Chain A
Amino acid sequence: MIGPKHSTFKRILPQLLILAAALAINLVVFPDFFDIDFRNGRLFGNLIDVLNRAAPVAILCVGMTLVIATRGIDLSVGAVMAIAGATSAAVVVEGHGWVTALLAGLGAGALCGLWNGILVAVLKIQPIVATLVLMVAGRGVAQLITEGKILTFSNEGLIHLGAGVVAGVPTPILIWMALGALVIFVVRRTALGMLIEAIGINERSSRLAGINSRVLLVCVYLVSGLCAALAGVIVAADIKGADANNAGLWLELDAILAVVIGGNSLLGGRFSILASLIGALIIQSVNSVILLSGMPPEFNLVIKALLILAILVIQSPRISYLMYMLRASGPQPQPDTAPLPKTQKEEAQ
């Protein structure tokens, strides 16, 4: 019997190997890549940057993984980031404290998530269309809040969320790791994970088994909205200002990419948040290669596309099957149990 620990490791092994490879490329283009020192009261080094800059995508991909597991997608997270950042900024600029601002931002995100969830679960609009509405309109809402300018603030508490350090570690790193751990814990220690997977694989069967798929779907989009809001507040705090035009721009695509690199199927079903988080780190490592290589920016997109393509090709079913066959071809494929009562590979009929 394979223990749960063992199988988790096996699940994320491909992602860990790709991350190692991406970090190795960083080392090639910049030999001091792994150097970390302590400067100005904070850990200072490229590795810290990768962890820190991965925060927005890492936080987004936690919610996105759950949404995708239900066979959905949330295109609005980038715009929700802008809305939440703008809301928080507007609240501190009004003179309220950072806690109020954070809660206001999260509340705005929750409303956005609720909106998406109702469109998808109650009105049965296809997720890609339903969330497109907010993707397009959301940035406009954020611009209305900031009145089209970068809403700058100087509230130390709020800034701390994005640019501060705790015991030398940049706060965003701690936030995304804590959030990831919390959600993984909740999803796997309750029955939530299994029920979400069931909905993603076969919603009709799940409903007939008595699962409240409607409420669960709304919750999943709500969580995605909350994650997006948290990412939005961090991004705004990082630059001490809410930039409605640019905050979170195209990040929904990076978040989806992180989920895919994490080996999760866009068709829903079995998911691993841990693997998605590693996917986010892989994307940031690729970004780091681009920044450290010193190549002219005209090559940025080409380099990124090539690296991502390589990652996806390595993960493609064909290649995985080849690898599996190569590994299996060593010892003869002996069935590891006594002859089974029946063959299992045949589906019904």
Chain B
Amino acid sequence: MTHDTGPVLHAKGISKFFPGTIALDEVDLRLEPGEVHALLGENGAGKSTLIKCLTGAYQRDNGTIHLDGQEVSPQSTADSQRMGIGTVYQEVNLLPNLTVAENLYLGRQPMRWGLMARRRMNAMARESLAGYGLDIDPAEPLTAYSVAIQQVVAIARAVEMSGKVLILDEPTASLDRDEVQLLFSVIRQLRDRGLAVVFITHFLDQVFEISDRATILRNGRVVGTRVLADVSQKDVVTLMLGRQLESQVHDRKPAKAGETLIEVENLGKRGMLDPLSLALREGEVVGLAGLLGSGRTETANLIFGAVPADQGRILLRGKEIPVSTPREAVKHRFALCPEDRKTEGIVGDLSVRDNIILARQASQGWMRPIPRAEVNEIAERYVKALDIRLASLDMPIRLLSGGNQQKALLARWLATNPDFLILDEPTRGIDVGAHAEIIALIEQLRSDGMALLVASSELEELVAYSTRVIVLRDRKQVRELSGAEITPENIVHAIAEHGTPAEEGAR
């Protein structure tokens, strides 16, 4: 780090109001040249709002932004890009059907005689990407490469167009460990070239690995800026939450000898999942482990009837039941919290209240509306029990933060009094506090006698709450672990037994 010049970017007293809320309250952020600066906070703490104010996506209501000592006021993201602030989001915002080179130079293509000089552009792209340690063919379409490489292309584009500040919003969320390392080496290079890099993520390990300093936000205010070499992870988490984090790892109680509730026999669908059998007892949590694409989500969807199976059967308390649609599954008191909250879970424009009551109302049928007083009672009960933070039950659910959306979805299913709850990645993309609460809730539901099937890519988490773990690989069940066998090492071993030794998303 060099400090002989002033900060690259200095934001002072940034405030942003939304009707009824203060999203940002006098926030300061100082970025030195040649540093990686982490921006931390629970979902809803104000990270995204701050970034949007800096990049001109939102107009701030108060405060100043100085870039290289000059006061600036970006009116749009294009504006801020010209000034030198580039942003790369988790969902790569490039054009998948264009080539790598076209994506890099879109809007500023090298031209010759009024035509695009394709060969020269490809050569420039190859050279530019080589600087990031990538040796790929820039004439290939972007989709030919993994998300990590697409991410680097997006970074290269942002750096070439801007070149002073680079904001990375959750860049590692969908990357595996090797890919994260690739990305980090790129980030280090850029830091050494004197760029200021803002790094936003939920993964604290990664924060400590790559970042020099961190600014921590809570409830729209800055609660501290720390040099990370001087503090521990626990200190940072305490700042983020404003309280000590309870130990995430619960003692695993032995499985109660409940009745067998669900038996899945040879359930499968051609091209999607090889026949799979499992049995669940009341008061049992069965974990589904495996890499992305190993069949975790597919298993959940087939059992719930979200995708009709083409072989096998499902027995409930020993009797075969048809489950070819979610509607039938719900009738038998099944419930599924899907992995993709946005497209399969929430109904964004409906109120939180309606979202919570939706499944229960659907199972009662439209003719028998749940009385308003009862609806309110149910919604308020779960909002309190799950600590869902909201301004009003009438607000659209899409305005809630990720963790609160997830809790509202849990509330939706708990309101149907399910016997069997399937959770697909229940803690993905949510903040540390909500994470711990959801794990505690799983434990509590289990001890109340519910049967749960939980698919997750977070091994420690699976180890914490599962009474048994089923390991999947290549859409096949490869191992079942129970009791003392359930350790992260064993799961990784089962996953890697014959295939590639890769882990996914493990913290």
Beta-carbon contact of B369 and A341 below 8 Å: no
Give the shortest distance, in Å, between A249 (CB) and chain B (any CB).
35
Beta-carbon contact of A345 and B399 below 8 Å: yes
Beta-carbon contact of A205 and B391 below 8 Å: no
Beta-carbon contact of B399 and A194 below 8 Å: no
State which of A201, A204, A216, A345 has its C-beta within 8 Å of the C-beta of B350: A201
Q: A346 at interface (Cβ–Cβ under 8 A)?
A: yes
Which chain B residues lie closer than 8 Å to A197 at the CB level? 347, 349-350, 354
The answer to whether residues A210 and B327 also contact, given A198-B350, A344-B390 and a CB cut-off of 8 A, is yes
Give the shortest distance, in Å, between A317 (CB) and chain B (any CB).
15
Which chain B residues lie closer than 8 Å to A335 at the CB level? 17, 20-22
Instruction: Pick out which of these stretches binds chain B: A73-81, A153-161, A184-192.
Output: A184-192
8 A Cβ contacts from A56-103 to B: none
Give the shortest distance, in Å, between A200 (CB) and chain B (any CB).
9
Which residue of chain B lies nearest to A345 when distances are taken between CB atoms in the complex?
A: B18
Contact with B along A315-341 (1 / 0, CB 8 A): 000000000000010000101110111
A323→B90 CA distance, assembly (Å): 35
Which chain A residues lie closer than 8 Å to B326 at the CB level? 207-210
Told that A343-B219, A349-B402 touch, could you supply 10 new A-B pairs with CB distance under 8 A? A2-B394, A198-B358, A201-B349, A212-B362, A340-B21, A342-B404, A344-B391, A345-B18, A346-B44, A348-B430
Which residue of chain A lies nearest to B398 when distances are taken between CB atoms in the complex?
A: A347
Which chain A residues lie closer than 8 Å to B363 at the CB level? 210
Which residue of chain A lies nearest to B365 when distances are taken between CB atoms in the complex?
A: A191
Instruction: Pick out which of these stretches binds chain A: B79-87, B126-134, B334-342.
Output: B334-342
State which of B18, B325, B336, B346 has its C-beta within 8 Å of the C-beta of A344: B18
Which chain A residues lie closer than 8 Å to B336 at the CB level? 208
Beta-carbon contact of B21 and A189 below 8 Å: no
Give the shortest distance, in Å, between A194 (CB) and chain B (any CB).
5
Beta-carbon contact of A201 and B347 below 8 Å: yes
A191→B405 CA distance, assembly (Å): 22
Beta-carbon contact of B49 and A195 below 8 Å: no
Beta-carbon contact of B343 and A202 below 8 Å: yes
Which chain B residues lie closer than 8 Å to A207 at the CB level? 306, 325-327
The answer to whether residues A346 and B17 also contact, given A198-B358, A208-B326, A210-B363 and a CB cut-off of 8 A, is no
Which residue of chain A lies nearest to B345 when distances are taken between CB atoms in the complex?
A: A205
Give the shortest distance, in Å, between B111 (CB) and chain A (any CB).
36
Beta-carbon contact of A346 and B49 below 8 Å: yes
Contact with A along B369-402 (1 / 0, CB 8 A): 1100000000000000000011110110011111
Which chain B residues lie closer than 8 Å to A190 at the CB level? 366-369
The answer to whether residues A208 and B401 also contact, given A195-B362, A343-B49, A349-B429 and a CB cut-off of 8 A, is no
Beta-carbon contact of A348 and B362 below 8 Å: no
Which chain B residues lie closer than 8 Å to A347 at the CB level? 48, 398-399, 401-402
Give the shortest distance, in Å, between B236 (CB) and chain A (any CB).
19
Q: A211 at interface (Cβ–Cβ under 8 A)?
A: yes
Which chain B residues lie closer than 8 Å to A195 at the CB level? 361-362, 366
Q: A269 at interface (Cβ–Cβ under 8 A)?
A: yes
Beta-carbon contact of A191 and B366 below 8 Å: yes
Give the shortest distance, in Å, between A213 (CB) and chain B (any CB).
9
Q: A270 at interface (Cβ–Cβ under 8 A)?
A: yes
Q: B205 at interface (Cβ–Cβ under 8 A)?
A: no
A202→B354 CA distance, assembly (Å): 13
Count residues on chain A whose CB falls below 8 Å from chain B CBs: 40
The answer to whether residues A202 and B391 also contact, given A195-B362, A210-B327, A349-B90 and a CB cut-off of 8 A, is no
Which chain B residues lie closer than 8 Å to A349 at the CB level? 43, 48, 90, 170, 173, 402, 429
A-B residue pairs in contact (CB < 8 Å), sample of 28: A190-B368, A194-B350, A195-B361, A201-B350, A204-B343, A205-B343, A206-B347, A207-B325, A208-B326, A209-B362, A333-B19, A335-B20, A335-B21, A335-B22, A337-B391, A339-B219, A340-B22, A340-B389, A341-B389, A343-B23, A343-B24, A345-B23, A346-B23, A346-B46, A348-B342, A348-B403, A349-B48, A349-B170
Beta-carbon contact of A343 and B429 below 8 Å: no
The answer to whether residues A194 and B354 also contact, given A208-B306, A210-B326, A210-B327 and a CB cut-off of 8 A, is yes
Beta-carbon contact of A211 and B342 below 8 Å: no
A93→B390 CA distance, assembly (Å): 63
| Interface set of A (CB-CB < 8 Å, partner B) | 1-2, 189-192, 194-195, 197-198, 201-202, 204-212, 216, 269-270, 328, 333, 335-337, 339-349
Q: B423 at interface (Cβ–Cβ under 8 A)?
A: no
State which of A202, A204, A209, A348 has its C-beta within 8 Å of the C-beta of B359: A209
Count residues on chain B whose CB falls below 8 Å from chain A CBs: 72
Which chain B residues lie closer than 8 Å to A333 at the CB level? 17, 19
A228→B358 CA distance, assembly (Å): 31
Give the shortest distance, in Å, between B305 (CB) and chain A (any CB).
9
Which chain B residues lie closer than 8 Å to A205 at the CB level? 343-347
A212→B364 CA distance, assembly (Å): 11
| Interface set of B (CB-CB < 8 Å, partner A) | 17-24, 42-49, 90, 170, 173, 219-220, 304, 306, 325-327, 329-331, 336, 338, 341-350, 354, 357-359, 361-370, 389-392, 394-395, 398-405, 412, 429-430
Beta-carbon contact of A346 and B48 below 8 Å: yes
The 6 closest A-B pairs by CB, nearest first: A348-B402, A210-B330, A343-B23, A342-B44, A210-B362, A211-B362
A62→B366 CA distance, assembly (Å): 19
Beta-carbon contact of B412 and A208 below 8 Å: no
State which of B220, B342, B345 has its C-beta within 8 Å of the C-beta of A343: B220
A349→B89 CA distance, assembly (Å): 10
Which chain B residues lie closer than 8 Å to A336 at the CB level? 20
Which chain B residues lie closer than 8 Å to A339 at the CB level? 22, 219
Which chain A residues lie closer than 8 Å to B42 at the CB level? 342
A292→B211 CA distance, assembly (Å): 73
Which residue of chain B lies nearest to A212 when distances are taken between CB atoms in the complex?
A: B327
The answer to whether residues A210 and B354 also contact, given A198-B347, A201-B347, A205-B347 and a CB cut-off of 8 A, is no
Which residue of chain B lies nearest to A204 when distances are taken between CB atoms in the complex?
A: B344
Which residue of chain B lies nearest to A341 when distances are taken between CB atoms in the complex?
A: B389
A191→B348 CA distance, assembly (Å): 18
Beta-carbon contact of B347 and A343 below 8 Å: no
Which residue of chain A lies nearest to B357 when distances are taken between CB atoms in the complex?
A: A194
Give the shortest distance, in Å, between B50 (CB) and chain A (any CB).
10
Give the shortest distance, in Å, between B427 (CB) and chain A (any CB).
13
Beta-carbon contact of B43 and A348 below 8 Å: yes
Give the shortest distance, in Å, between B367 (CB) and chain A (any CB).
6
Give the shortest distance, in Å, between A265 (CB) and chain B (any CB).
9
A208→B46 CA distance, assembly (Å): 31
A212→B305 CA distance, assembly (Å): 13
A333→B62 CA distance, assembly (Å): 13
A210→B46 CA distance, assembly (Å): 35
Beta-carbon contact of B349 and A342 below 8 Å: no
Beta-carbon contact of B23 and A189 below 8 Å: no
State which of A208, A210, A216, A342 has its C-beta within 8 Å of the C-beta of B219: A342
Beta-carbon contact of B370 and A191 below 8 Å: yes
A269→B341 CA distance, assembly (Å): 18
A205→B362 CA distance, assembly (Å): 12
A206→B338 CA distance, assembly (Å): 12
Beta-carbon contact of B21 and A211 below 8 Å: no
Give the shortest distance, in Å, between B349 (CB) and chain A (any CB).
5
Which chain B residues lie closer than 8 Å to A206 at the CB level? 347, 358, 362
Beta-carbon contact of A344 and B362 below 8 Å: no
Beta-carbon contact of A209 and B401 below 8 Å: no
Which chain B residues lie closer than 8 Å to A270 at the CB level? 349-350
Which chain A residues lie closer than 8 Å to B394 at the CB level? 2
